[in-house]
């Protein structure tokens, strides 16, 4: 089949799967529901592979016109190039594995069919986001993934104890994303006002032609970036992501680690020609420093988290910050490279944590785990690989992709390099802490929990193994010196071909790699000596002091946001209702009514009902008229 | 003509139908109008979207032509009225009121009056139908409403009546320059800017109260929450659309000379309403009041879009009017289901319903999401276009109006989650009955269809909007 037929099919398959399960899923056996959902994903993935090998030039595929007004149209159109097909491979590939994993993980859940429906629909929306040829399609998918994320975070909404909390987490995610969406929407309107179109290629073409003012370009790129901070969880809109862990673990792996949260990064890479334009320099700098701050803050918070998923969530935020630093430096291919390896090892870690949680009968507190390596060996090995990969252990995938960004940073500004390297060190520390506390030492849970410990079934461990292999070899995609992946993306992605690759000489390359390796090893040895040799355990939050307390309490950011935004808003709501609505507006209306009533009283005094008075008034009136006319004449 | 006769006939007959079958009779009547609408749509399209005149009296001295007809916009409003009326009848089917002759008769009378409003091509006739529509809603709310209804309804009545009088004054004033009340005669009148200001103002007062725009809205939350479900649905889904329609068809075309004076203030009031009512809705605990404020917030946006008065915004406003009607009916149905089964609509006394009534939970969730304009719902396109229009007017206006994206999510999801999520607070909850399910299904189906192909609506109303703008432009250039 041709690309023109394959690509729409790739998008439609998950939608079809979602519709089948949504309509019939309730009556179908779980096995069938899960198989349908997973099968459409695998087919989508293989079709995407097919397209990947066929694709040479960037191809536009017209589907239909959404809206056609006189001077303004919105098109459902696809743009297939190396960037979008690469992201499609990640989304469908990792998506397939996570669907497979979910078949085991969710097997006891009552909302099984709903879960797979939402998951399929999410993939559908995500593919629209990636494959669309214009910002409207992107926005459509953007909102679509947001709503699926909302539904999946709040998936266990009728839980006796946590139902309302899960709902709250979902709501928080949705609202924070909506704040970012408003920025994105304004960005879209700015684009429309400036270029008169939302098609990527047309915007790029007109950019050179119209050369809009620097401030306009800053405005556009800044608004797009605001949108990205929402979806990709950057300061100040990142606090929803850790809460989003309320969703089932496969959801955290797919949506809140591997795919949806990279939408902001995709947006920036897709719009690289805008961000590279003069005037957008300021946005790039803002992006760089926001990314850097996010990376450090999130890594710092992750140090003292005791919920296995929370550690990984903050780690995700931190890694995304890392990638935004790359974007801020214009290192787009390095960013997508890290997005790719991060998708591998973060999906692996989340699924691994899911397997742990599954074995622990839904316990997520790492203080109640320990010594799990004996009980769940496959999960243990794969989790270890994931940990090593994310920590930048030599020659695993994370090592190369981080190194690429660090090399750019060193070239850009040594201070930024220093800060990034520190963030990477923190990453290694908290990840090894997590690994050792969970898998080494003695089991600290109840005997009841111990008796339940079991390795997960094959449909859960196979995805782990596949992802582990990818996490190991993923770095080979873009080996230093070869840069296959960079050449691949530069080949036909608009704008990227114009960006010069950074060439690092061998000497500094070796220095960089050696430094990174040493840092990782230091973290490994440090964590090993503390958590395995000394057998020290994370203590109760109440006993922490100073920095540790700050970290454990997430820098009190939720409290600060609550104080600064939530409560004033609620107070304003009550004030507006009680003061303006009830006191002021209502009294004006009542006052007007009373005034009319009063005027009626005045008139009433005249209406005495006595004829002589009426006659008198009449006489007065006649006299008045006569006088009036006399004067007038 | 049959489009008006059918509901009138059913209104009359409903009074004589035996009590037991009156609700079936109602459903048949609603369906008859829907079927007729389909026929009209087909005919309209066969004739290539030509405006239709179906009734006209010979010219008389008084200037009352009683011309009736519709173009694309009018047809669109007819579709809206008949579909919504049918959904209201359907969702009331298992309620006690559906057995009531008076109720059914009044509902049909309402439908007839609304159709009259949307098909009047004569100023006086428009006014007459506008006033007639007040009678059935008043009777429905008074006979079947909740506590404190007399006080609330008096307020409502006086409010709207003041507006109506202002409109009548405007109509008479403009007629004094024209030969008849026929819309084309009235539109042909050239007014001095001072006179135009007052004529426009009179219409504006009537419409601002009916929509309602901030600060003319204080009758609305209490009336919505006192009225029975059908009343609230009629008020929010149909009656306020009369005013939005009036802005498009009568207010601006008749006195375009004053548009410049009024445009900015109306936009400001509209977006104040968006934010103000949205903020208030955040902390409401009475669900019906909450959605009443939400409604003010949504229609503020539509009114602001209409008054920009270009093709894009008028189209967007019409799509959004359609969307708002459907969503409002669905949300008030949800509130009523909760209230009927639980005896309360206070958020703090509700919770956990989704677990006990999954069908209801699903449908309510779908409506809540449609209300926050997610992709694949009609609101997504409508809101996108409206915000775009307001943004092109001025970026600050667009930004402030855009907060509806966030505010809407805050209050809608809060209302949904507090009532539906968590552990159930009651032993059992009867899930949707067939008629409720069907009502929801129809609403959602239309919302999704329009959300996927909004071009349908654009093609229906587009030529008529062009025509409207054309005549408006002519009268505007004459002034200049």
pLDDT tens digits for A565-582?
A: 889 888 888 888 888 888
Among partner residues B395, B410, B423, which is closest to A175 by beta-carbon distance?
Answer: B410
Distance CA B346, CA B63 (A): 53
Torsion angle, alpha carbons of B183, B189, B190, B192, to 10: -90
This model of the complex carries an ipTM of 0.92
**Residue A271 shares a structural domain with residue A299:** yes
Look at B279 and A569 and tell me if their CB atoms are within 8 Å. yes
Look at B421 and A585 and tell me if their CB atoms are within 8 Å. no
Distance CA A274, CA A329 (A): 14
Predicted pLDDT of residue B480: 46
Q: What share of chain A is helix, strand, coil (3-state, %, to 5)?
A: 75, 5, 20
CB contacts < 8 A, A to B, total 136
pLDDT tens digits for A44-97?
A: 999 999 999 988 888 999 998 888 887 788 899 999 999 999 999 999 999 999
- Measured between CA atoms, how close is B273 to chain A, in angstroms? 12
pLDDT band at B478 (very low <50, low <70, confident <90, very high): low
Among partner residues A67, A125, A572, which is closest to B279 by beta-carbon distance?
Answer: A572
User: How far from the centroid of its chain's Cα atoms is residue B459's Cα?
Assistant: 21
- Measured between CA atoms, how close is A577 to chain B, in angstroms? 6
Among the listed residues B99, B121, B401, the one whose alpha carbon sits nearest the alpha carbon of residue B275: B401
**Residue A548 shares a structural domain with residue A564:** no
Predicted pLDDT of residue A599: 79
Relative to beta strand A72-80, strand B68-70 is unpaired
Distance CA B56, CA B51 (A): 14
Among partner residues B282, B376, B422, which is closest to A570 by beta-carbon distance?
Answer: B282
Q: Does the CB of A589 have a partner CB in chain B at under 8 Å?
A: yes
Residues 6+ apart with CB under 8 A from B380: A140, A143, B373, B374, B451
Q: Does the CB of A600 have a partner CB in chain B at under 8 Å?
A: no
Predicted pLDDT of residue B113: 95
Residues 260-299 (A) with a CB less than 8 A from some CB of B: none
Q: How many CA atoms lie within 13 A of B180 on its CB side?
A: 18
Most A-contacting residue of B409, B416, B460, B466 (CB-CB within 10 A), to test interface: B409
Look at A189 and B395 and tell me if their CB atoms are within 8 Å. yes
Among partner residues A158, A163, A570, which is closest to B283 by beta-carbon distance?
Answer: A570
Under DSSP, is residue B286 helix (H, G, I), strand (E, B) or coil?
Answer: strand
Partners of residue B398 in chain A, C-beta under 8 Å = 186, 189
Chain A residue with CA closest to B384: the answer is A185
**Are the C-beta atoms of A91 and A259 separated by less than 8 Å?**
yes
pLDDT band at B475 (very low <50, low <70, confident <90, very high): low
Q: Does the CB of A164 have a partner CB in chain B at under 8 Å?
A: yes
pLDDT score of A247 more than 50: yes
Please give the average per-residue pLDDT across A458-480, as a whole number.
91
Residue A616 lies in domain: 560-632
Look at A163 and B405 and tell me if their CB atoms are within 8 Å. no
- Measured between CA atoms, how close is A548 to chain B, in angstroms? 34
Whether this prediction's pTM lies above 0.95 is answered by no
Look at B417 and A157 and tell me if their CB atoms are within 8 Å. yes
Look at B405 and A182 and tell me if their CB atoms are within 8 Å. yes
Compute the mean pLDDT over every residue in chain A, rounded to the nearest whole number. 89
Torsion A387-A390-A394-A397 (CA) sign: positive
Length of chain B: 480
Predicted pLDDT of residue A582: 82
**Residue A514 shares a structural domain with residue A604:** no
**Mean pLDDT lowest among A5-9, A348-352, A361-365, A517-521:** A361-365
Which helix (DSSP H) or strand (DSSP E) does residue A79 occupy? strand A72-80
Most B-contacting residue of A122, A135, A167, A571 (CB-CB within 10 A), to test interface: A167
Please give the average per-residue pLDDT across B47-59, as a whole number.
81
Look at A586 and B218 and tell me if their CB atoms are within 8 Å. yes
pLDDT band at B191 (very low <50, low <70, confident <90, very high): confident
Residues 85-144 (A) with a CB less than 8 A from some CB of B: 125, 136, 139-141, 143-144
Please give the average per-residue pLDDT across A380-398, as a whole number.
93
Look at A577 and B283 and tell me if their CB atoms are within 8 Å. yes
Predicted pLDDT of residue B66: 83
Residue B156 lies in domain: 2-479
Most A-contacting residue of B375, B424, B426 (CB-CB within 10 A), to test interface: B375
- Measured between CA atoms, how close is A7 to chain B, in angstroms? 20
- Alpha helices, DSSP H only, in A360-483? 377-391, 397-412, 414-439, 447-452, 458-473
Query: What does residue B103 show for φ and ψ, rounded to 5 degrees?
Result: -60, -50
Look at B398 and A189 and tell me if their CB atoms are within 8 Å. yes
pLDDT tens digits for B330-356?
A: 999 999 999 988 888 899 888 888 888
Look at A171 and B414 and tell me if their CB atoms are within 8 Å. yes
Please give the average per-residue pLDDT across A279-303, as a whole number.
93
Picking from A528, A552, A576, the residue at the C-terminal end of a domain is A552
Partners of residue A66 in chain B, C-beta under 8 Å = 381, 454-455
Picking from A552, A570, A603, the residue at the C-terminal end of a domain is A552
pLDDT score of B38 more than 90: yes
- Measured between CA atoms, how close is B405 to chain A, in angstroms? 7
Predicted pLDDT of residue A272: 92
Under DSSP, is residue B42 helix (H, G, I), strand (E, B) or coil?
Answer: helix
Q: What share of chain B is helix, strand, coil (3-state, %, to 5)?
A: 80, 0, 20
Q: Does the CB of A593 have a partner CB in chain B at under 8 Å?
A: yes
Structural domains of chain A, count: 2
Partners of residue B420 in chain A, C-beta under 8 Å = 157
Residues 524-553 (A) with a CB less than 8 A from some CB of B: none
Most A-contacting residue of B158, B162, B283 (CB-CB within 10 A), to test interface: B283
Which residue reads 């497979």 in tokens?
A100
**Residue A58 shares a structural domain with residue A41:** yes
Partners of residue A178 in chain B, C-beta under 8 Å = 405-406, 409
Partners of residue B311 in chain A, C-beta under 8 Å = 69-70
Please give the average per-residue pLDDT across A222-245, as a whole number.
93
Please give the average per-residue pLDDT across A143-157, as a whole number.
92
Mark B137-149 as b/e (b = at least 16 C-beta within 10 Å).
Answer: bbbbbbebbeeeb
Look at A576 and B276 and tell me if their CB atoms are within 8 Å. yes
DSSP state of B181: S
User: Which percentage of chain A shows pLDDT scores above 70?
Assistant: 99
Look at B387 and A189 and tell me if their CB atoms are within 8 Å. yes
**A210-214: long-range pairs with CB below 8 Å, 24+:** A213/A279, A214/A278, A214/A279
Q: Does the CB of A575 have a partner CB in chain B at under 8 Å?
A: no
Q: Does the CB of A19 have a partner CB in chain B at under 8 Å?
A: no
Picking from A552, A579, A595, the residue at the C-terminal end of a domain is A552
Please give the average per-residue pLDDT across B263-268, as a whole number.
94
**Are the C-beta atoms of A88 and A130 separated by less than 8 Å?**
yes
**Residue A538 shares a structural domain with residue A589:** no
Please give the average per-residue pLDDT across A140-152, as a whole number.
94
Most A-contacting residue of B218, B347, B361 (CB-CB within 10 A), to test interface: B218
Among partner residues B280, B381, B405, which is closest to A573 by beta-carbon distance?
Answer: B280
- Measured between CA atoms, how close is B476 to chain A, in angstroms? 21
User: How far from the centroid of its chain's Cα atoms is residue A107's Cα?
Assistant: 27
Please give the average per-residue pLDDT across A443-451, as a whole number.
86
**Residue A514 shares a structural domain with residue A584:** no
Partners of residue A570 in chain B, C-beta under 8 Å = 282-283
* Residues forming beta bridges with residue A365, ordered by sequence position: A307
Structural domains of chain B, count: 1
Q: Does the CB of A514 have a partner CB in chain B at under 8 Å?
A: no
Predicted pLDDT of residue B476: 60
Among partner residues A67, A159, A181, which is closest to B405 by beta-carbon distance?
Answer: A181
Residues 6+ apart with CB under 8 A from B44: B50, B52, B72, B75
């Amino acid at each position: 089949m041709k690309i023109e037929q394959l690509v729409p099919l790739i998008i439609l398959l998950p939608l079809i799967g979602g519709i089948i399960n949504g309509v019939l899923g309730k009556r179908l056996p779980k096995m069938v529901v899960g198989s349908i959902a997973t099968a459409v994903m695998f087919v989508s993935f293989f079709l995407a592979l097919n397209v990947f090998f066929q694709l040479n030039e960037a191809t536009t595929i017209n589907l239909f016109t959404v809206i056609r007004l006189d001077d303004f149209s919105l098109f459902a159109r696809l743009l297939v190039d190396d960037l979008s097909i690469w992201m499609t491979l990640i989304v469908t590939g990792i998506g397939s594995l996570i669907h497979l994993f979910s078949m085991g993980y969710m097997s006891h859940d009552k909302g099984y069919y709903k879960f797979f429906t939402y998951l399929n629909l999410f993939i559908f929306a995500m593919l629209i986001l990636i494959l669309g040829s214009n910002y409207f399609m992107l926005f459509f998918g953007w909102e679509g993934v947001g709503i699926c994320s909302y539904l999946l975070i709040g998936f266990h909404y009728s839980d006796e104890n946590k139902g309302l909390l899960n709902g709250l987490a979902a709501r928080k995610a949705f609202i924070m994303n909506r704040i970012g969406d408003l920025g994105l929407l304004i960005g879209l309107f700015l684009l429309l006002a400036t270029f008169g179109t939302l098609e990527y290629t047309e915007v790029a073409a007109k950019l050179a032609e119209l050369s809009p003012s620097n401030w306009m370009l800053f405005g556009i790129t800044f608004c797009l970036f605001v949108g990205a901070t929402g979806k990709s969880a950057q300061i100040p809109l990142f606090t929803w992501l850790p809460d989003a862990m309320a969703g089932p673990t496969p959801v955290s792996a797919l949506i809140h680690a591997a795919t949806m949260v990279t939408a902001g990064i995709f947006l920036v890479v897709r719009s690289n020609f805008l961000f590279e334009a003069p005037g957008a320099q300021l946005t790039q700098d803002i992006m760089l420093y926001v990314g850097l701050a996010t990376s450090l803050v999130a890594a710092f918070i992750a140090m003292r988290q005791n919920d296995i998923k929370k550690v990984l969530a903050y780690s995700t935020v931190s890694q995304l910050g890392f990638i935004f630093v790359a974007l801020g430096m214009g290192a787009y291919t390095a960013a997508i490279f890290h997005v790719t390896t991060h998708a591998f090892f973060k999906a692996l870690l989340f699924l691994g944590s899911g397997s742990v949680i599954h074995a622990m009968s839904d316990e997520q507190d790492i203080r109640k785990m320990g010594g799990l390596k004996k009980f769940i060996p496959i999960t243990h090995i794969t989790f270890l690989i994931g940990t090593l990969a994310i920590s930048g252990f030599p020659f695993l995938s994370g090592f190369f992709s981080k190194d690429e960004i660090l090399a750019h940073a060193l070239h850009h500004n040594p201070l930024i390099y220093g800060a990034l390297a520190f963030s990477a060190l923190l990453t290694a520390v908290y990840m090894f802490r997590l690994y050792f506390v969970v898998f080494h030492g003695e089991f600290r849970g109840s005997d009841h929990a111990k008796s339940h410990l079991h390795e997960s079934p094959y449909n859960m461990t196979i995805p782990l193994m596949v992802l582990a292999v990818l996490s190991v070899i993923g770095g080979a995609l873009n080996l230093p010196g070869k840069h296959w992946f960079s050449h691949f993306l530069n080949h036909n992605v608009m704008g990227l071909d114009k960006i010069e690759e950074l060439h690092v000489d061998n000497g500094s390359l070796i220095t960089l790699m050696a430094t990174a390796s040493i840092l990782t090893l230091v973290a490994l040895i440090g964590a090993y000596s503390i958590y395995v040799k000394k057998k020290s355990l994370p203590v109760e939050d109440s006993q922490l002091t100073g920095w540790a307390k700050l970290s454990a309490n997430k820098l009190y950011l939720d409290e600060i946001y609550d104080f600064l935004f939530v409560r004033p808003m609620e107070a304003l709501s009550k004030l507006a209702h009680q003061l303006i609505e009830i006191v002021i507006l209502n009294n004006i209306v009542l006052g007007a009514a009373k005034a009319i009533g009063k005027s009626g009283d005045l008139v009433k005094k005249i209406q005495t009902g006595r004829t002589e008075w009426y006659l008198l008034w009449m006489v007065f009136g006649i006299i008045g008229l006569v006088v009036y006319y006399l004067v007038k004449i | 003509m049959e489009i008006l006769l059918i509901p009138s006939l059913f209104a009359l007959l409903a009074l004589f139908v035996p009590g037991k079958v009156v609700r079936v009779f109602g459903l048949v009547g609603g369906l008859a109008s829907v079927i007729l609408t389909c026929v009209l749509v087909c005919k309209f399209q066969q004739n290539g979207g030509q405006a239709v005149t179906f009734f006209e009296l010979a010219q008389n001295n008084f200037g009352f032509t009683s011309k009736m007809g519709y173009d694309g916009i009018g047809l669109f409003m007819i579709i809206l009225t008949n579909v919504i009326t049918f959904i209201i009848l359907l969702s009331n089917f298992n309620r006690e009121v559906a057995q009531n002759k008076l109720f059914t008769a009044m509902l049909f009378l309402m439908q007839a009056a609304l159709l009259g409003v949307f098909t009047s091509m004569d100023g006086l006739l428009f006014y007459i139908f506008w006033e007639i529509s007040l009678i059935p809603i008043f009777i429905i709310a008074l006979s079947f409403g909740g506590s404190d209804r007399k006080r609330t309804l008096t307020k409502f009545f006086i409010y709207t009546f003041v507006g109506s009088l202002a409109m009548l004054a405007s109509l008479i004033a403009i007629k004094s320059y024209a030969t008849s009340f026929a819309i084309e005669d009235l539109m042909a009148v050239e007014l001095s800017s001072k006179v135009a200001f007052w004529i426009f103002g009179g219409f504006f007062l009537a419409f601002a109260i009916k929509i309602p725009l901030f600060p003319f809205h204080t009758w609305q939350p209490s009336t919505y929450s006192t009225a029975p479900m059908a009343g609230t649905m009629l008020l929010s889904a149909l009656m306020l659309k009369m005013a939005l329609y009036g802005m498009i068809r009568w207010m601006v075309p008749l006195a375009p000379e004053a548009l410049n004076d009024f445009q900015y203030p109306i936009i400001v009031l509209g977006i104040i309403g968006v934010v103000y009512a949205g903020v208030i809705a955040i902390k409401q605990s009475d669900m019906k009041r909450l959605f009443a404020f939400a409604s003010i917030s949504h229609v503020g946006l539509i009114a602001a879009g209409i008054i920009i008065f270009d093709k894009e915004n008028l189209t967007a406003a019409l799509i959004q009017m359609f969307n708002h009607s459907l969503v409002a009916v669905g949300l008030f149905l949800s509130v009523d289901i909760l209230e009927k089964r639980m005896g309360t609509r206070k958020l703090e006394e509700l919770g956990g319903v989704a677990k006990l009534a999954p069908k209801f939970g699903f449908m309510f969730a779908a409506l809540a999401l449609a209300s926050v304009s997610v992709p694949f719902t009609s609101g997504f396109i409508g809101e996108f276009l409206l915000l775009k229009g307001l943004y092109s007017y001025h970026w600050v206006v667009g930004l402030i109006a855009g907060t509806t994206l966030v505010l809407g999510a805050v209050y809608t999801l809060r209302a949904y989650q507090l009532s539906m999520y968590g552990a159930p607070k009651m032993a059992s909850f009867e899930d949707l009955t067939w008629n409720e399910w069907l009502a929801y299904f129809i609403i959602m189906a239309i919302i999704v269809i329009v959300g996927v192909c909004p071009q349908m609506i654009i093609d229906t109303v587009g030529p008529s909007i062009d025509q409207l703008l054309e005549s408006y432009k002519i009268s505007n250039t004459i002034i200049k």
